[in-house]
Each structure stands twice: as C-alpha cells, then as structure tokens.
Structure 1
C-alpha cells in the first residue's frame, strides 16, 4: 500500500461539489486497483455506518462509494483542492471584494450582530475581531446568525463555543471506538450571557454542534426553525496524487446525547422563515424600552411606504429646534434608526416623515423619547413607542 496521509481532524460541511462522475477512469488500472484496496481498508477500519456485506468483492471506487452514506465520497485532486480552498480561506481581510464568511453590524439598541456563513479555518480570528469592534461601539447584547450555514471545520465550532459562559462540553462524538467527550477551546473573550443564536433548516453540521451545545447547557437562546439534521462527522484520507476519500467516521450529539442526525434541533424560540432577525430584534428593542418605562400606544399595520406620522400632544408644546429633533427616532427592525424630517404643525402636533421611502414589508418602531417641554417649561416624563408594519 502506498503511503497515505490520513487527516483525522473532522471537516463538517454540506458545500455542494461537482458530481463524482466516474472520475477514477483517469487512473491506470494498477493505480485504481491499489486505490480500491486502500479505500476498502479505510471503510473497514474507520467507517461509521453499515459496512457493505460484499465490500471485498467490489472492484471499483464507484461501487464502494455508492454503497456508503450520502456524505462519503471520493474526490479528485481538483475537487479536493477546491474544497480545501473553500473552507480554509483567510477571511480576516474584511474589505476583500469577495463576500467574507464573517460580517457584523451594530443594530439599534446597542445590539451587536455577527453573521457566520461557514466555519472556515480562520473563523474564530474573524469573530474575535468583529466582536471586539462591536464592544468598542457600545454593544451590550449580541445576536449570532448561523442561518444558511452548512458547516465547515469542527475545530472552529469548538473555538466559537469557548466564547460562551457555561459551556463545559462542546459535543459528544460516537465512533467505532466508543464515545468521546470533546471540550470547547477556552477563551478569555466572552459573549453576553443572554446571547441569541439564529438557525434555520439550512443550518447543519458545525452549526448544529454549536446550537445543540448551547441549548443543552442553557448558554444561549436558539431562535428560528428546525435545523437540517446532519449529525455525522467526516474525515479526509489523502492520497499521493492529491485526491482524497471523504469518509463518515462518527456521529455527534449535544452534551445531553439527544440524537441530531436526520432529526435536527428544535429552537427555543420558533419564528417564521427568514423573519428570525427582525422578530428577535423587535423583541429586544421592546424589552429595552419597557425596562425604561416606555409605553406602547399603537400597533400600526399596512402603513404605506411614504407615510407621514402625526404625533399629537394634549397641550401646547415647545416643538421647535433640537428640543424636538433629538427626541424622535424611526427604527428599522433588524437595523438602525433611519433618517427622518420633523416639522411642527401648530403648537401640539409634530409631523414625522422618513427622508426615503420605507421598505415594503418592513418592520419599524417609532420611538418618542421623554423630555418634550410645554409652554410652562414642564417636560414629558414617559416615552412612548409604536410598532409599524409597512405594506
């Protein structure tokens, strides 16, 4: 048997690759026969699943692969090189024209938002840099978005879990040799205790490791839809020509060992598909305003995109200048306060108009802060807010 390098670090992914398409036909008969023997060896000793009963009689790579699970496959040198490049790219170059795998934003209400599209090799460095920047901007709450994240390096999932308070176990892994408890990678940089993690039906593998671990240990709140249910781990066994065998070698669960594969993870808070961010952001904004004793007075539905809002006061007010302009905000849910123009209309009404049309189907919150002064110099003591749905 030729020297073969076995990569035992499990990559977890559902990145779509080109079909196998009988790639082994480019191999000579002798090389293919040796390759078939090598693959049989790895299947016999490492494959986690039902080993084909007629494995020893199989004569081609195709025949063996077709008898294994859907996540095991043989990859040509080009396919394997492209795969490694896809999950191993350096995503610290935040201004690269290509879409980075980690992005962030400050949402209204001092809420940090970090989106992770794949668990790449350098993901943790990127997450650390983004979260540090968010904290400098004043973020005291955090939303991590793992929607549409199909996986990547399991080590990156272990690193991400190290940022959560209360996570003692990253996951449990069952292989042919038994059950192994895997610990998170320790980190001094910790996320807020009540961090929200968004998932959906496309969140798989490493995303599910993170979600299951956090849910089992009450270390974060999982928000969204049932995840994909891809709970197996694959390892790569490299060959001298640069090709590789991607082989399922185990199954993972959360710390409480509930089955994930082909089942998925049910979120703690269930939301309509693609409304997860707006729903949880609106919830956090309302909680923050309620904590400051703001009162909800309306819930406006089917508002036109060019709506002008009218705020009426029960007495004559001083509505000129900064006294009014800095006490009104129109907040885009899932985003920040949007520009508005404010004009007094008499002595007891303000007309508030977005400088650009609001987004169709968007969710907004109109916030009126306390501190408006009347003609006698007395100021309003309680803030109010109104949720808005744009038609």
Structure 2
C-alpha cells in the first residue's frame, strides 16, 4: 500500500513539475521562435520582412495554437549606484505572457511596462513610478525614453525576472523607427511539432525550439523522468520482496494443510492456484487502498498547495500535481504483473513439500 502511494506521488509530482516549468517557459518565450540567422535570441536589432514569413498560414496549422509577433530591445536603466542592463520585450495584446502574469493586457498602453519584483527592488521602483530607459545601438546614438511602471510581476523564472520588462510592441516599433507592422521575432506555441511550418518560412530565417534555446534547463527537467523510473523500480522491488516474504511465511505455516490436500488428490498446480489467489488478493487490496489514499493526498496538494518549493531552484513555489488517468492505469497494471511474477518465486517451494514427510512430522 505504501509503495503504491509513493509511486503515485512520484509520478504525479514529477510530471507535474515538468509540465508546469515547460508551461511557464512556453508562455514567456513560446515553444519555438523564428528569427534571422545569426541574430541574438533576445536582441532583435533588425526587423523581419512580413512577406517572408506566412504567419496566417502557420496559424491555420492545427498543431500551432499561438503565433505571436515580438520585439526584443536591449537597454540600460539607472539604478541606485550605477546602471543595470535590461531587455524590453514588446508584445501584442494577445500574447500568452499576460496569462502568466494574471494581468489584463488591455490596460497596457504606449510608454508603459510591467517590471518584475526582483528587478523593481534592484532599481528601487514600484507600480506607478516612471523610469528613464536608455536604448543603445552600435551604430546610433542612445535613445532615451520615459517609461511608466504599470504593474509588478513575478514569474519565478530567475532568467526572466532578473532583466526583462514587458511592454507594448508598438512602443518598441516607435523607438526603433519601424513601421507599425514590423516585428523582430515570431514566437510560436504548439501541441506537437509539424514540419509543414518550414514551407511558410523563407530560407534566410531559422526556427529554434526551446529545447535548444534553453538546453540546460530542459536537460535538467528531463532528469525528472529518470527519478520517476528509479522510484518506481525501487518500490516495485520493495513490494516484491515483501510479497515473497509474506507468501513464503504463509506456505511454511500451511505446510500441514498443503500435505493434507496433496494426499486428498490435489496436485502442485492446484495448490499453487490457491496461494496465487491469496497473494493476488493482498495485491489488489493494497492497490485499492493505496490508490485511494494516494489520490486523496494528491488532490489535497492540488487544491491547497500544502507542500512548497524553493522558486529560485525549481522556478515554482509549490509542488504542482498532474493526475493522469492513463499513467495511473499503466502503473497499476505494471504493479499487478510485477507482483504476479514475484509470487512465482516462493511458489516453487510447494512442489518440494512431500505429503508423507509432512504428516510423519505431525
């Protein structure tokens, strides 16, 4: 029972953490991005030719549910002692980044921006304050703009909270002196990757998926799979050893019974079936109780977020839960099959029990 609870929690929390972190990065940066070859990830100094990327056709692909025009601009802001390098992300009002903040995008106007709590504390600014932003380009004089802080956010992703401000894409178009349809990068969210997208992208542009852009983070996330499998294997082994021990003790305790029914005509196979039923009934009882208790624990965590995490390490401040019925069914089937195999080990002793010796000892 305890092993079932531990395995359920390991699967639901492991995949829950993976999915939550991936969802955060997806909302902030998309699942993939289209940009010019050789351009920096977070500094779009050149605008993209709208005719070279067929955005409307990409939107019509079933797998791609969010296609967003974005501009990234490097800048510096005076802080309490010197200057802080920042990145302004210009987005359209439909960008999923606002769902990550829990803020209505309609409130965002020109010359306004959202700032992270971390960066706000560093710069000593709060909601409603105005700051001077210095935009710089290698071949141009710095451009100075006054930006009002509309609100403060906290995503939990240090790489974003430490240096990003979010503003309206129209504001950065004005700063860059681009026309009102220009953009520097296209960020895409998809349910699954479809190669057909390459038909709508000019060869001078590249498509980069998040796994490559944030490879270290995604490699770290993938380690949760290994942890889940290790926990499952260990718990299966523990359960199997317990089942072997319990059934072996039962067989030794019922030696006289086994000898008696063998004399009455029962063969080894018939005796095995009796003990298999007994062992499997213990397995099913443990599964039922373990699943009920495990699901109750998971539902409590899902609703009340009882167990917290260090956001600076895990990018989230609580343990997220992913209750996947298919995963639970597969786990239960795997446990049943594994326990059935383990039960065969002590059942070998049944054939070695001789009725005449057993009754003589009695």
User: Which has the higher Rg, Structure 1 or Structure 2?
Assistant: 2
Instruction: Sort the TM-score into its range (normalised by shorter chain).
Output: under 0.3
The structure whose residues are more often strand, as a share, is 1
TM-score (norm 1): 0.26
The structure whose residues are more often helix, as a share, is 2
